[in-house]
Amino acid sequence: MSRLLLVRHGRTLLHKDDRFWGKTDITLSNIGIWQAEKLRDRLVGEKINAVYSSNLSRAHATAEIIASRHQLKITACDELNECNFGYAEGLTFAEISQLYPELAQVLSGFDTAVRFPGGENFNELNSRVQKFLKRLNEHKPKETILIVAHGGPLQIMICNLLGIDIKHWRQIRLYLASLSIVETYPQGAMLSLLNDVSHLKP
């Protein structure tokens, strides 16, 4: 058995207005740093064997804060980056509806046929996630692996690990600075924790 600790990065400086931020490299806000520190304290007792992160600042900084108590090198991976939203990058859904009505319709239907103009399509994002998962085969059983990334890649990863049709990826909610845990076995994977943010409560 291997344990995968799946963490979504903390809040960023551009958190407001619910905009589509994908490839844009945004840093953590002070709240985001605090959230990462709470995750660090929560996971301090874990025997973590390896740490992987998106190479975008908001995820990598979150990983650095958590890993600071474990003396582990962080492996940054392009495969864990958030979706490239192309021309929709930085827009709200309302703005997308005005500029790209067909895209807005596909997004509303949770359709995996989504393709962002000038950016990625869903299959490209899924292929990236599957490529990353192959990396995990290099690890020995019983290792605990921390993976810090973004909502989209982590939702798709959970679907792939559990054998759930990827069309359900957006039905998995992952809050900022949340922790999810998947235990992997030769026979398959088991979800033991999902979207937990109890470490952020007073």
- Residues with active-site annotation: 9, 82
What is the 3 state secondary structure string of 77-116? EHHHCCCCCHHHCCCCHHHHHHHCHHHHHHHHCCCCCCEC
Please, is 180 exposed, middle or buried when counting C-beta atoms within 10 Å of its C-beta (0-12, 13-18, 19+)?
buried
Per 3-state DSSP, the chain is made up of helix, strand and coil in percentages (nearest 5) of 45, 20, 35
Q: Specify whether the CB–CB gap between 42 and 197 falls below 8 A.
A: no
End-to-end CA, the chain = 33
